[in-house]
Structure 1
Amino acid sequence: MESKLEISVGEYVDQLRRVEIWIDGERLTGDDPFVYPEAFLTHLIRSRDHLKTELNFLKHEAELMGLGIDDAFERVSSGNLHTTLRVLDWGPTTDDYLCFLLPIQSRLWLTWKRQRAPAKVRAIQILPYELISAIEVAADQLRNGDTGDCNGPLADTNK
């Protein structure tokens, strides 16, 4: 895998498109990987806009000061930062996972944990650009009817 986040936009099946989400080699897509393209595109655009214009990651770093990734994840998941720092919340496509962007020690961590079973919090360091780029490439592919892996700034959109 070349990228930390991959959004794979696949074939059409009737009016639906196959979409799979991967972080660091772990598939986050639920049992049904098919989406309504326009609805999923709306999720992607809202996420991109939130990341670009509304979310100031470092503003929240003081609230997580001194915490490791596991403790920060638990604090955010049960506290007032839940909706502010939540990412990849794209309906049934990612319902099985809880994902947050956590600013810890001047670094941004993409964290995730499976919701239904006892699971360990996983984390990778990521740049906002990598996340936004993967989302933008997937949105373009949905708009244009293309297929391929949308894995951030190094994405090969001709797959």
Structure 2
Amino acid sequence: MSVEIERKFLVNSDAFVKQASEQTRIVQAYLNSDKQRTVRVRVRGEQGFLTIKGKSNQSGLSRYEWEKEIPLSEAEQLLALCEPGAIDKVRYLVPVAQHVFEVDVFAGDNLGLIVAEVELSSEQESFAKPDWLGQEVTGQAKYYNSQLSLNPFKNW
């Protein structure tokens, strides 16, 4: 199991789209959305994944993550077993200096929400902040995908 270290931000413009190197539709849902651990099923393009994430540390920057690619057909079958509230989004990969931001443009019940994440090798690692990056929301549980599936952006 590895540790995921990331910071999360709101996005204040669509300028990132021109800088994106790739975009992919993602549909995901949760077999378990408990705050202590989540079990996620994801279809990203033509690939399926099963992911288990532990509880975030106190700062909200780090948590354990285990991910395994699974056959697309199995991921699609597992989606049918998941809790209600599937997440539908388009993920843009946006290179910025030495890092790649993952910018998620949500659809469905989370339409209007755009969130950017950057993965780091340590909690203290510095990174360039592009102009389109807005307020930091790292550690704010309501922005976790598992929580967006339970309490979508349209209800805020």
TM-score w.r.t. length of structure 1: 0.26
Higher strand share: 2
TM-score with structure 2 setting the length: 0.26
Q: Relative contact order (C-alpha < 8 Å, sep 6+): which is higher?
A: 2
- Name the structure with the higher helix share: 1
